[in-house]
Structure 1
Amino acid sequence: MHTLEQLRAGKLKGIRRLTLCCGLTEFPREIFSLADSLEILDLSGNHLSSLPDDLARLSRLKVIFCSQNQFTQLPAVLGQCPSLSMVGFKSNQIEDVPAESLPSQLRWLILTDNRVKSLPDNIGDCTALQKLMLAGNQLSELPVSLANCQALELIRIAANRLAVFPDWLLSLPRLTWLAYAGNPFSHQLEQQALRAEQRKIDWHRLDIAELLGEGASGLIYRATLRQNDYLQPVAVKLFKGAMTSDGLPLCEMAATMKTGRHTGLTQTVGQIQNHPDGVDGLVMALIPNEFGNLAGPPSLESCTRDVYPAELRCSQSVLLRIAAQIAGAACHLHQQGVMHGDLYAHNILWTNTGDALLSDFGAASFFDPAELHRSEQFQRLEVRAFGCLLEELTARCDDLSVSVQEALQQLIAACLQPQMAYRPSFADICGRLQQITQAS
């Protein structure tokens, strides 16, 4: 975090990233003194409603964040910035997205939690677009021109007003991570999941201990569940009730309860009732301390791909065990009519012996397995995410035998096949992984 005083005193000369959160109501003109070096500008958490018409003087600017401000329109001047590729305006009051506001090199657009009712047709000209975050708006349709964005890999359209799913999205050859829960077309399946039989746990039977972590949708605490004379260590997730980058916490809760039990998934014990403040929450199995996140989330540079610790290496046996458990977990989810939507290494908990758990259902969406063609498309979309994961793990394994490496490369290629219909199902993947393991 920087200060206006530092900026005005010339102490920030030459910096690449500037972060100012100090109640700004106007864009500080002193920022232009950094034009020779500034690449990332973060003005989130202020009271801004406009940007200067000469913003393009920041010719090196690649990334701009103006979340949690007071913009009602995405500034048209953004489209004039020659190097701008990432635009983040989450949680404003944006209703209008002018055609002129979209930079030609746009890779990553965040408009989560606004009031956007439509997008301009020229978004289809943003052929470098990889990541599009639109959850929590008022969209009733998407421009068909988005089909031209052949590089698009991740899209969040949850919690909008879409009456029908835009089928043409599934023709995008690189689409990998999709979240659409909380729209009218998915409402019935979500309500069925929420009404399904689920163990209810009275809040007063829980003894809450320390905070274990905080995600986009809620807080997770260590707790003890009192059951007669038995004390069960558990984790408690209390939902914030606010919009997240992926969608609505209520939809996440529905998906979590729908998943059922599987050894490759984090387990839900029950749904909390009678919280004194009416907060929604889940009681979950406590994950042993030896589990940790397999990777970190994507960076500004990697955009859609996770960031792994530089030192992370795994053996062939560990790689195959992780792959089999995650493929099995995804197969189980799809049998329940749930698409995870965020099958990434940063949502996988693992141990150095290869135990693995797929977690975090914030981007999960429902589909009807009885609609065979549509459900197969959703499943094979997620197969591409598994292919990315397997590719990343294979690159971090030093003791692969020639035969195993060849078999895994063939499986990766099949999962990443641009034509969705030619990708294997997760049932097929589980079978192929079993064969590879037995032959290794």
Structure 2
Amino acid sequence: MTIATNTDTSLSQALTKAHEKYSGKNPKSYEAYIEATKSLPGGETRSSIFIHPFPLFIERGQGTDIIDLDGHTYKDFVSDFTSGIYGKSNPVLKKAIIEALDNGLQLGAHTKAESLLSSEICSRFPSIDLIRFTNSGTEANILAISIGLHYTQREKVVVFKGGYHGSVLSHFGEEQHQGGGDLKVPYEFIVCPYNDIAGTSSKIQDHSKDIGVIIVEPMLGAGGCTPGEPEFLKDLRELSKKIGAVLIFDEVQTARLSTGGSQKLLNINPDITTLGKFYGGGFAFGAFGGKKEIMSLFDARQPNSISHGGTFNNSPLTMISGLTAITQILTEDNLNKLNELGDELRNILNGIFVKEELPFKITGLGSINQIHYIPIMSLENKREGLDLFFFYLLEKGFWIAQRGLISLNFEMTKNDIIEFQDAVVHSARAVKKVISELI
């Protein structure tokens, strides 16, 4: 269970030892993984949660804890990549879901819950006059882009380097794939520099009449939790109007930063907003909504309306769970408290990292953050440093994404945050100690 490296360094040696210790502690997960490889390529079906050298297999969750097959308990600080904002066993959601089950698993028809949920979302986002539901953020973004191109009768889509809009809509650059890559929906993309309006304007100037859509995350999520600068996002709003393109805000993650997402905090109204993850109350969910003149193209009462199907778009369980979550849990007070915890955690840790000259930093907004390893010397492997930190943190009973994502949830207490903060600092110190052997 080792990672191949070009240089025999203390960093790679320490990571090899961490892999060996991890492997020795998790024989049941390893056995389950080997069995999974017989029917799943690489033993998994969701690339973002794969762990090298092999993933843990989780048996159950309770509150903010997850328990693996070997009986280890971890505090979950990744919260299913922001979607698990409600924790593992919220009693309000559980009660609503059980009651919905009593009315039938899948009805294949309209229910009042879907219009109630849509009304609640529209009331929170001034930019959304009308909305349609999907089954994921990926699907929502594909449909939003497609309707934007149809509306403008143009073909090109502006995206940004480091952007992620779903499993077939990522734009990280080959350097982040180490020779691999991503499948992409075959739109005509123009990839522009994030947080650089001058560079963006320069890159699109020769294509302005062909650009139908500009899609942007108010904060790069999978691209490293890099917040969009307010002026950059406001300038994009003006630029899209100038060239006649539809501006899409991908708020699949950032919608949890306030009851009206990042756009409420920034006072920017895009033409279309995409949502997902937690708005389904824990079930698979996506949505796209925006200006009436765009979304009315789906109005089945109109001649030549655009068809948009999907067996589970209005699944009764998802509609009830989402409605319950929004009205009873995803409140302004709860979101403010959670985001304040995230801001405080990020500021405290960054202060300690600077003071102790630890090779890490954290970026993000509110309750969504990303820890980054900062190589001290050019010969260090950036991925190895972060991986070593991940395994040290796992040893202390805390679960984050191996890539460094940290996402808080409502089940967490102030004490959980303090314990996590201490574990992060100790793990960062341990990595620095290893690095010191290279100097």
TM-score bin, normalised by smaller chain: under 0.3
When normalised by structure 1's length, the TM-score is 0.27
More helix by share: 2
When normalised by structure 2's length, the TM-score is 0.27
Q: Highest relative contact order (Cα 8 Å, sep 6+), 1 or 2? A: 2
